[in-house]
Structure 1
């Protein structure tokens, strides 16, 4: 079931959010959030209303106002909560959801928001329909001959012209104009005069002089006849942009239309229509915008970038499941073929009782076993790899990013490493079966390449015991620990072979 929701007013616009008792609208203006404390009684209003409280006292309790620095500081917890809130647009048919920082961007881009037609027809439409409407708007700019006006005025001029011409054909006694016709003429005549004459005073020619008239838009053209003047295609004549309604010289109008901020364009990535001036803002939230993967330099849609970088990119870094070394994904198989922890290892090499260890199949981590016996498992590492223990800096010896999985006593098990500090620092290895059926009494030792015990783990919090109770409900008895004294023994082991082995094996029985 969807949780309760409420509305918030931010900068005069309402948004929907999951119900949060922390937020409420300002009780003075109802135009913004009441997140600014104004007095010591914790009464809150919006910052705009706080700045307008000329009386210097709280409207509710009449206590003196706190200073503005303290008022701004009081907003911190509320602003942090707003950053974590998901907002929904309340405009009909808009399904947008986003963060607090994206509100103003969406407010400017929301295609479902209604706006008044800029041509002055008095109608309003959603932004995504406005461009289509203005192509047919009765008040859109229009030009016929030398008459520039809106389409409705020009249409009316044509109708009245025809009616006047029809009236002139009648006898004078029959030319009486009806009131409606008269009202239309007196309304239209000033508009036609203004559009046709553009409020310029006519110039006169001296008697007998040859006709000469300069273009009124100062393009340098001089007409020798009225016909030349009327047919002159002036590059400076003002033409109105149908997108922003501003006028530009005819020679510049086409270039302006291409870059006009009010021109509706479609995002090439997602197909959403938006004003050209807001396209940059749209790109900040467009989930289909192609972005470049920094790893493989391939372009992918923004909404798929995280998935691509995590799962699909051939240049992404991944860890080898045996040695945990970071390698490029495209070279992972090549690395596995050469990884030393994917090959058999011989302990007590060159001696009659040598032991051949083979990697445990289908495991994650450097796990080995002798033949098919998984009752004793070996974690193979090196003296160099154990150096984080010697530095006592709590760094992971194996992998911080991958869970280690092995087979112990015939069942899948996990191994996790960690550090604990009581009287001394302890390095912890916690072995547990995924589906435990019984407690397995075990012991864990650190060995050199000849199977000599360097030191033994003890149950955490039980330094005098040696048996690790795998799968035990007692968390301390089930965790194998090395304290700093035993870590020091590992550090000073001088065996020439750098191999170090952590061995888990069954113990004859619990000791105490």
Structure 2
């Protein structure tokens, strides 16, 4: 019985098992030359691979010497088994050859619905299915008395034209479903009607009240300017901007002109008062210039860094490196925002060449620091005396591996011109958008090679972080 998994009362002997599939043999065949037995299907699949040898002893096989083993098949069919649905509750036992006959009447066996619906279910559940669930069962509608299949009846329910229903607008009227569309279209007091002015929908018994306050209802201008059909909601704008009989302020009222006249006379006033309007605008421009200067000063004051350190993030690293390599924008030097060594201290700035500068050009990242003119230079010690530390930060996860920052520290040479008191930057020191070489600053042209940067985790999310810190020695006054 191909396709069935048997549940034997006792474990079958080893000689009943197929050596190829390790299951009870189905349609057993015997190789007469060596006596080994196999499932007919298993042996055919084995031989289809082109190996014409016995799977057990590897001796050559001859198709003419493979025969069905009827005796062994009868022994297998005589083995005692349980029903394949024993775990579901069936208590039948018998010989293997009796299983097929039992399954034809077993209440736990899965069978197709006799009405040819897609369902397959246990034989014992079939009566309930045929009576209540089968989509192919026959049912009669209580209202129109037509007969339908179960599937069609479910679609018919709620749509039968002979069923008595209430109006969907909840006006309280009950009628046959086939009369409901006409009622809702022309008779129902709760039906929705569009306002002919604003096109919004309202209930039939409330639309008259809406007309008393409809924003699109045409009204007349109270100034009697003669403009026809002004929508109620547009009347304030009409009176303020369009009504020719309405008085308006001069368009230069924000600049200080107090003149008021009818809208039609505004053009004449503008022609006559050109010079006075120009004086007013000049005053506005001067006041705005002072305000902008004050705002700019406030912004600079709020953005200053006075703790002696700078953390500089360079985003879009790959694009900026490519621009530096091709010198697309002329200047390949990038400038950080200025920062202070300490409060009322030295004003500093870090610069970098992503593609290197001088001896590091094309192979390294170069970093420099410049001393900028500051507000407190007249009170400070010169030349610049404090030690400077540069770091390229390793962006590795600290919980996984210890970051390996690249760090270099130097103490300023008092004889180096870059650490003398700086002079204000003149326009002739700027060439092509970059500072003159004398303004380069002091640092490392070979701070880190491009190869080392690629090996480490210094570039992450297409960004690098450069840190600069100033070791300021605080004087303690006793």
Same fold (TM over 0.5): no
- More RCO (CA 8 Å, sep 6+): 2
TM-score, with normalisation over the residues of structure 2? 0.28
More strand by share: 1
